[in-house]
A and B are shown apart, each in its own frame.
Chain A
Amino acid sequence: MRNRDVWLVVPCFNEGTVIEDVLSSARETFPNIVAVDDGSADESAAAIHSAGAHLVRHPVNLGQGAAIQTGVEYARVQPGARYFVTFDADGQHQVKDVLAMVERLRAEPVDIVVGTRFGRPRREGDQVPLIKRVVLKTVVMLSPRTRRLGLTDAHNGLRVFNRRVADDLNLRMNGMSHASEFVELMDSRGWRVAEQPVDILYTEYSMSKGQSLLNGINILSDGLVGKRLPR
């Protein structure tokens, strides 16, 4: 089967109601999935297991960044793993986007392909809420690093990368700041980056799970302190 060398890493915290469907439908295309149950208090773990994914459970809730790191560490030691995908548990990412990104990684000389919500001219069907659009664009404008890398979307959760990135990955921001940390790593480690326009599905469910914009303050302070933490 094609895509045996691809591993989906799905961090999951209290997503019991949707995770089984998300994983089952992703598994039709990508047989290898590791879902990291980040100390959920609902039936997420059982749902993950019955969807046929590999289950790794944090004994306590640590945050999304920590869950992604755990998932990548699990996936990178699996035999035959060559490509790695960070994928959300709430169904806002689409398998067809991942497929296109993996194909690009196979064909082009890049290490990591990042999804962007702003990759093409604005259309009728776009669902990114106005306030999110403004804030995300402002973040991009304010970040010299993001601009240097040519990224147009500051915090997209959909990323596909190769072994070089996976072996090198060491996220220390446990919470939502891992997205900025990821960008910082792309820049400092010299990974070759490409962007791919993707569609994010903003369902009622994923909106309710979404981040508050105020969390940007936490992300900023994490960025300042992060430099002081040992690698």
Chain B
Amino acid sequence: MIKALLLLAGAALVAFFLANRRKARAKAGVKIGFVLFVVFMVYAVMRPDDLTVVANALGVQRGTDLVLYALVMGFAFVTVSTYVRFREQEMRYARLARSIALQNAVRPEDQPDATAVTPAADDDDRLRR
């Protein structure tokens, strides 16, 4: 029961931060959360027995299990937010590439210079040269 609550609370937190990702408050929240997380982990390493007391209070058997739950939630959050961030980045990158492409369009009547029609070099190719 309490485990379900823990999971639900974690999921709700992740959803909240993703929805409000662009607001300064949520960004600050993520940073505060990170610091708290680190402090909590340091404390957990130093006083594992205290952790077990907390875990028992929450209905979890061992302290290490609680840490594991916290880590899984943290990892899920990082994964999802990284994915979304990459997608946004990708879109900006696409728009940049698109505007370059449109500026350098070659009309049929144009005589393109050689560089305009030679294949785009792979990064590997460039390294080899």
| A56 partner residues in chain B, CB cutoff 8 A | 101-102, 104-106
> A49 vs B115: C-alpha distance in the bound complex, in angstroms?
13
Contact between B116 and A57, CB atoms less than 8 A apart: yes
Do most interface residues of chain B lie in helix, strand or loop, or is the interface mixed? Answer: helix
| A34 partner residues in chain B, CB cutoff 8 A | 105
Contact between B98 and A73, CB atoms less than 8 A apart: yes
| B93 partner residues in chain A, CB cutoff 8 A | 62
Task: From B90, B91, B105, give the contact of A55 (CB < 8 A).
Answer: B105
Asked if A104 is at the interface (CB within 8 A of a chain B CB), the reply is no
Asked if A43 is at the interface (CB within 8 A of a chain B CB), the reply is yes
Contact between B98 and A69, CB atoms less than 8 A apart: yes
Contact between B119 and A59, CB atoms less than 8 A apart: no
Q: How large is the interface on A (under 10, 10 to 19, 20 to 34, 35 or more residues)?
A: 20 to 34
| A230 partner residues in chain B, CB cutoff 8 A | 88
> A230 vs B91: C-alpha distance in the bound complex, in angstroms?
9
> A146 vs B45: C-alpha distance in the bound complex, in angstroms?
54
> A62 vs B104: C-alpha distance in the bound complex, in angstroms?
17
Contact between B97 and A54, CB atoms less than 8 A apart: no
Given contacts A228-B18, A229-B87, is CB(A57)–CB(B98) below 8 Å? no
- Lowest 6 CB-CB distances: which A-B pairs, in order? A55-B106, A45-B117, A46-B117, A66-B94, A56-B105, A52-B108
Having A56-B104, A70-B102, A73-B98, one finds 7 other A-B pairs with CB under 8 Å, namely A41-B119, A45-B116, A62-B97, A225-B83, A225-B84, A228-B84, A229-B91
Q: Which B residues fall within an 8 A CB radius of A?
A: 18, 83-84, 87-88, 90-91, 93-94, 97-98, 100-102, 104-108, 112, 116-122
